[in-house]
Amino acid sequence: MKAPPFDYHRATGVADAVEALRAADGEGKVLAGGQSLVPLLALRLARPAVLVDINRVPDLDRLELRDGVLHAGALVRHLGLAAQDRHPLAAEAARWVGHTAIRSRGTLAGSLAHADPSAELPAVLRACDGAVHVAGPGGRRRLGADALFVGALQSDLADDEVITEVELPVPDAWGFAEFARRHGDFAVVAVVAARFGERLRLVVGGVGAVPHLVDVGDLTTVDGELSQDRVAILAAAAADDVDPPTDLHGSAGHRRALTEQMALRALAQLAGHRTPEVV
């Protein structure tokens, strides 16, 4: 299928991109990797009047670690994220994104802006309590992960704003587990575990409109090593805390059972235990 007609603007800088989006009056879309946007255009599920291409904007492909936080420009590709060793959790999650062709073009910022609740990187951003830096006509702002995602394929970004940088704090320990029907598919359920000192953040993707931050009270405060018994208790509590939908990929009960199994695997990886088999 062919995309509907649109005007094309190649941005020369962040300010130029913002101005082009502002002038589009809500009818513009940012083109970075295009791995989500282009299929929507082909299916005519998106009909922007203007595409604002940011691929030639300088300095948006930087990737650096500062004070325990990975700073990634908007044009950092999934392959680049997977290849770096400064944030091992982000690298592992990026390896699960699609296939090589998708990872070579798709971007971290694009995945976050698309806000698919089954995607790996939005769950990582929330588990790490990360943030995005956004530029718009009113200036720049920093938006935390808990505020960025507001619904399925919906974010707090305005139509004339563009992500310029992503902040990902590096956890002291981490775990990642995903179940998908085929390699490269979006997750039916994915679990990301990140430990920062005595604080444990456990996020489940694929069980709601946004990546779900598990809220089980004092269970997520960890003093010392995480025992196998504590892992099992946490995984069961995570399954009880989610309220997944029933759809063509599985029932609510199926997703809840997967949540417990993926949480067992992610938490075991974080704690350094032998990873349990999925049952």
In a domain, 58, yes or no: no
> What's the average model confidence in pLDDT over 152-162?
97
Asked if 198 and 234 sit in the same domain, the reply is: yes
In a domain, 40, yes or no: yes
Write down the pLDDT at residue 180: 93
Write down the pLDDT at residue 142: 98
Cα separation of 7 and 51, whole Å? 6
Residue type, 80: G
Asked if 73 and 25 sit in the same domain, the reply is: no
- Angle (CA) 251-255-260 rounded to 5° is 150
Write down the pLDDT at residue 277: 57
Write down the pLDDT at residue 250: 87
In a domain, 195, yes or no: yes
Q: Which domain holds residue 44?
A: 7-53
What's the pLDDT band for 273 if we cut at 50, 70, 90?
A: confident
> What's the average model confidence in pLDDT over 178-192?
92
Q: List the one residue out of 9, 14, 10, 12 whose CA is nearest residue 50.
A: 9
* Higher local confidence (pLDDT), 3 or 229: 229
Asked if 233 and 185 sit in the same domain, the reply is: yes
Cα separation of 128 and 202, whole Å? 9
Last residue of a domain, one of 115, 150, 169: 169
Residue 74's domain is classified under what CATH number? 3.30.465.10
Residue 11's domain is classified under what CATH number? 3.30.43.10
In a domain, 116, yes or no: yes
> What's the average model confidence in pLDDT over 34-43?
91
In a domain, 137, yes or no: yes
Number of domains present in the structure of the chain: 3
Write down the pLDDT at residue 275: 63
Asked if 89 and 150 sit in the same domain, the reply is: yes
Tokens of 182: 């085929």
- Angle (CA) 257-258-260 rounded to 5° is 70
In a domain, 160, yes or no: yes
Asked if 222 and 165 sit in the same domain, the reply is: no
Asked if 24 and 75 sit in the same domain, the reply is: no
Asked if 91 and 147 sit in the same domain, the reply is: yes
Q: What is the pLDDT of residues 211-264, one digit of tens each?
A: 999 999 999 999 999 999 999 999 999 999 999 999 988 899 999 999 999 999
Residue 242's domain is classified under what CATH number? 3.30.390.50
What's the pLDDT band for 1 if we cut at 50, 70, 90?
A: low
Cα separation of 195 and 200, whole Å? 4
> What's the average model confidence in pLDDT over 37-60?
94
pLDDT greater than 80 at residue 186: yes
Last residue of a domain, one of 145, 169, 193: 169
> What's the average model confidence in pLDDT over 173-187?
92
Tokens of 38: 């282009």
Tokens of 178: 């995903």
In a domain, 262, yes or no: yes
Global confidence as pTM: 0.95
Asked if 119 and 202 sit in the same domain, the reply is: no
Last residue of a domain, one of 141, 169, 197: 169
Do 274 and 242 contact (CB within 8 A), yes or no?
A: no
Write down the pLDDT at residue 279: 45
Write down the pLDDT at residue 185: 86
Q: List the one residue out of 26, 27, 29 whose CA is nearest residue 37.
A: 29
Asked if 49 and 77 sit in the same domain, the reply is: no
Q: What is the pLDDT of residues 90-131, one digit of tens each?
A: 999 999 999 999 999 999 999 999 999 999 999 999 999 999
Neighbours of 150 (CB within 10 A): 12
Write down the pLDDT at residue 225: 92
Asked if 159 and 180 sit in the same domain, the reply is: no
Three-state secondary structure of the chain: CCCCCCEEEECCCHHHHHHHHHHCCCCEEEECCCCCHHHHHHCCCCCCCEEEECCCCCCCCCEEEECCEEEEECCCEHHHHHHCCCCHHHHHHHHCCCCHHHHHHCEHHHHHHHCCCCCHHHHHHHHCCCEEEEEECCEEEEEEHHHHEEECCEECCCCCCEEEEEEEECCCEEEEEEECCCCCCCCCEEEEEEEECCEEEEEEECCCCCCEECCCHHHHECCCCCCHHHHHHHHHHHHHHCCCCCECCECHHHHHHHHHHHHHHHHHHHHCCCCCCCC
